[in-house]
Structure 1
Amino acid sequence: MATTAAVGLLLALVSAFTSAFAHALLKSGVNKLATLAWIRVVELLIALPLVLWMGLPPAMLWPWLLAAVAVHAIYQVVLSWSYAVSDFTAAYPIARGFVPIFTALLGMALLGDRLDGIALVGVALVSGGILFLAGKGAITRTGFIAAAITGLFTTTYTLVDAHGVRIAPDMLTFVAWFFLLGAFPIPLLLFARYGREGRVLMSRDRKAGLVAGIMAVISFAPALFALGLAPVGAVAAIRETSLIVGLVLGSVMLKEKLGWQRICGGLLVTAGTLGVIARTAFS
């Protein structure tokens, strides 16, 4: 059990590092919806040969696949709104800060996961450190609300994904079909909103979108596998180390100011993450 959890947490750590790059690329795109559409196109191209090879998933998996696609689509729309109204280094930490503790508690209540008191303290440190990173006055009320709603949907899709991965006949079936089905809502929304101009927007954001799509697949596929191997609260906490990379990217790539408060918050996150790893993987 400890070895399985350790593999899951390692996958979550891989996901954390690549996730920050994908989010920074999304923020750098001129039109966030067009960039998201490119991410979905990349996922479609990767998933299509896999599902043709595997065939249809079992009937009992369809409700969870459709639920995952719906929740992710809503999350992506709210995420693009959040990044449109706030700095990346403010919106990203707040959006992620609500996730670990809520996911840990709901994972224990709904999925039967087990985390002891020390691991929960580590998860709480991660959440507290992330919220501290945002800093008072670093974000508007609208930006805070958008980021908080993003965090709520992140918690929701994490729990839905975890259950789907765990009841699937094998984890790859859920991952491949999720990427295939999830490829359609965002491009459809883009063209429903902008009409023929959607092609112009996608052409303009092609480079950022394609690279973000590759990074998103590299990020999210390991996260889905991790949810099948380790408690969702621990996986959520480990994935939030992405914000440390995100802060560096926001400062270097997007030229956003990085102050002492966010650095101190990053140290809290690191301490909490190390506690979760030690308690979950090796106890």
Structure 2
Amino acid sequence: MTAAWLPPAMMIASGSIHAIVNAILKGGKDKMAGRAMIDGSSAVLLLPATLLVPLPDGAWIWLTISAAIHCVYLYAVVRAFESSDFSAAYPIMRGTAPLITAALAIGLTGEDASVRELAGIALLGGAVCVLVMGRHIGRAGLGWALLTAAMIGCYTVTDAQGVRAVPQPASYIVWSFMFSGVAIVTMFGLLSRGRLLAGARAQWKPGLIAGALSIVTYGLALSALAMGPTAPLAALRETGMITALAISVLFLRERVTWQRGASVAGILAGAALILTR
């Protein structure tokens, strides 16, 4: 029997690592090449594991849908980061996503959520969005960030259904990276019109590191979703914004503003509501 604390702990850890992956992506010069390198290296690293896990029978359709959604999601991420500051676009993506995920999980798949959990999801999402206050983001950047959030909600609900449809979650996790890796590299390869290889070669080291971290962050998330409800667990992943804030303050020497303090307090309060039994 799974300990009650394990899925939330896995999601919180996943969120922290996810923030690092996106910071690496934002730091690269060629965002398309960087994202293709991340997802391509994840697939290559997990390729031997396809021989060790069973085929994901019962989840092929979910894997196909998920790969398509991830293509739209990552294209939107790249466009958002190209047109906006990380500190403006990322909080919108991650703060809006829990609300969309909750609506989809409850409205489409019929999952239950208590009033307390819904309040925690709303508080956590709103607290993340507070980070955007005082930061400029244009219409294009806002649009791409909101599309990203919508796709996060869609792939989270899709993958939650898929990982629960297979006998072993590891099977879905491994094949998810295979499907998405091939689809994303192909998409960005076509969009870049042949420039992808040169861009990937120039930033292969951070891309490889981020690819390995992507396996850890989304592997933890899918494993957690296999064991618990979608909406509250997905919201807990956004506690990774605290890690992002810590990096910006401790390593980038950015100021601690009242918005950041309020956001951290709100994220912690929202997480407490979700975790309280």
User: Which bracket does the TM-score occupy, shorter chain normalised?
Assistant: over 0.9
Aligned pairs for 1:1-283 (under 5 A) are 3-58=2-57, 60-251=58-249, 259-278=257-276, 283=277
Decide whether aligned partners of structure 1 residues 259 and 139 sit closer, same or farther in structure 2, where only a CA change above 3 A counts. Answer: farther
Quote how far apart the aligned CAs of 1:137 are: 4.6
Checking the alignment, whether the CA contact within 8 Å between 2:18 and 2:214 is kept in structure 1 is yes
Counterpart Cα distance in 1 of 2:214 and 2:129: 24
1:74-109 alpha-carbon deviations (Å, 9 max, x no partner):
101101111111111111110011111222232123
Counterpart Cα distance in 2 of 1:146 and 1:266: 25
1:25-64 alpha-carbon deviations (Å, 9 max, x no partner):
0101111111111112222123211212334332x31111
Quote how far apart the aligned CAs of 1:191 are: 2.5
Where 1:234 maps in the other structure, the secondary structure is helix
Checking the alignment, whether the CA contact within 8 Å between 1:4 and 1:230 is kept in structure 2 is no
Counterpart Cα distance in 1 of 2:119 and 2:191: 44
Q: What TM-score do the two structures reach when normalised by structure 2?
A: 0.93
Checking the alignment, whether the CA contact within 8 Å between 2:88 and 2:137 is kept in structure 1 is yes
- Aligned-partner residue type, residue 209 of structure 2: V
Counterpart Cα distance in 2 of 1:176 and 1:219: 13
Counterpart Cα distance in 1 of 2:6 and 2:232: 12
Checking the alignment, whether the CA contact within 8 Å between 2:104 and 2:154 is kept in structure 1 is no
Checking the alignment, whether the CA contact within 8 Å between 1:25 and 1:212 is kept in structure 2 is yes
Checking the alignment, whether the CA contact within 8 Å between 2:63 and 2:162 is kept in structure 1 is yes
Quote how far apart the aligned CAs of 1:252 are: 5.4
Structure 1, unpaired ranges of 5+: none
- Aligned-partner residue type, residue 167 of structure 1: A
Decide whether aligned partners of structure 1 residues 165 and 55 sit closer, same or farther in structure 2, where only a CA change above 3 A counts. Answer: closer
Decide whether aligned partners of structure 1 residues 234 and 5 sit closer, same or farther in structure 2, where only a CA change above 3 A counts. Answer: farther
1:209-248 alpha-carbon deviations (Å, 9 max, x no partner):
1111111111110001111111111111110011121233
Checking the alignment, whether the CA contact within 8 Å between 2:101 and 2:153 is kept in structure 1 is yes
- Aligned-partner residue type, residue 11 of structure 1: M
Checking the alignment, whether the CA contact within 8 Å between 2:53 and 2:170 is kept in structure 1 is no
Counterpart Cα distance in 2 of 1:248 and 1:142: 28
Question: Higher mean Cα deviation, 189-198 or 240-249?
Answer: 189-198
Q: Percent identity?
A: 31
Counterpart Cα distance in 2 of 1:156 and 1:100: 11
Quote how far apart the aligned CAs of 1:258 are: 5.7
Checking the alignment, whether the CA contact within 8 Å between 1:24 and 1:250 is kept in structure 2 is no
Query: How many matched pairs?
Result: 277
Counterpart Cα distance in 2 of 1:225 and 1:177: 14
Structure 2, unpaired ranges of 5+: none
1:248-271 alpha-carbon deviations (Å, 9 max, x no partner):
334555676663213312221111
Counterpart Cα distance in 2 of 1:15 and 1:191: 28
Decide whether aligned partners of structure 1 residues 206 and 157 sit closer, same or farther in structure 2, where only a CA change above 3 A counts. Answer: same
Counterpart Cα distance in 2 of 1:35 and 1:240: 23
Checking the alignment, whether the CA contact within 8 Å between 1:28 and 1:208 is kept in structure 2 is no
1:108-129 alpha-carbon deviations (Å, 9 max, x no partner):
2333322211121111100111
Counterpart Cα distance in 2 of 1:268 and 1:245: 14
Question: Higher mean Cα deviation, 150-159 or 168-177?
Answer: 168-177
Q: What's the C-alpha RMSD, in Å, of the aligned pairs?
A: 1.9
Counterpart Cα distance in 2 of 1:209 and 1:215: 10
